[in-house]
Amino acid sequence: MTANTHGRAKKRTPAGAFHVLIQRAYDSSVAVDGHYRVLVDRLWPRGLSKKDLAIDEWNKDLAPTPALRRWFGHRLENWEQFQVKYRAELRQDEQQQRITELIARAGEQPIMLVYGARDTEHNHAVVLAAELQRLY
């Protein structure tokens, strides 16, 4: 482990990068050994049980605020601005603390962010994963 510019411990994979993956909650959930699985939606995915998701935690506070989520509405024309606004939310002190705590709970395990959105390329988990990679 090495320290980053914020003084936090920075986990390294053999290649030297912090490892964050994303998975859609509705994709066939195969327990990924060694991954710390976190549901990062404010709302529980319809029709799924905790057993179905095989998650280690539900961290709804890392999801976009309800107002931002409603504004985005998964409309592609809002995607670029959504990313900017969501990153701004994630860079607030309270969110930075939540991210630090998530990293600590995951320990040496790579993190798997689980989300419910249909669009696998334009959703908040993509932005959150990039922010985790940037910070750590």
- pLDDT category at 18 given cuts 50, 70, 90 is low
Residue 69: CB partners within 8 Å, gap ≥ 6? 42, 63, 124
CA dihedral 51, 56, 59, 64 (to 10 degrees): -70
- pLDDT category at 29 given cuts 50, 70, 90 is low
Between these two residues, 40 and 5, which has the higher pLDDT value? Answer: 40
Neighbours of 113 (CB within 10 A): 25
Q: Which pLDDT score, from 0 to 100, does residue 31 have?
A: 60
Are the C-beta atoms of residues 110 and 20 closer than 8 Å to each other? yes
Residue 6 CB-density burial (10 A; 0-12 exposed, 13-18 middle, 19+ buried): exposed
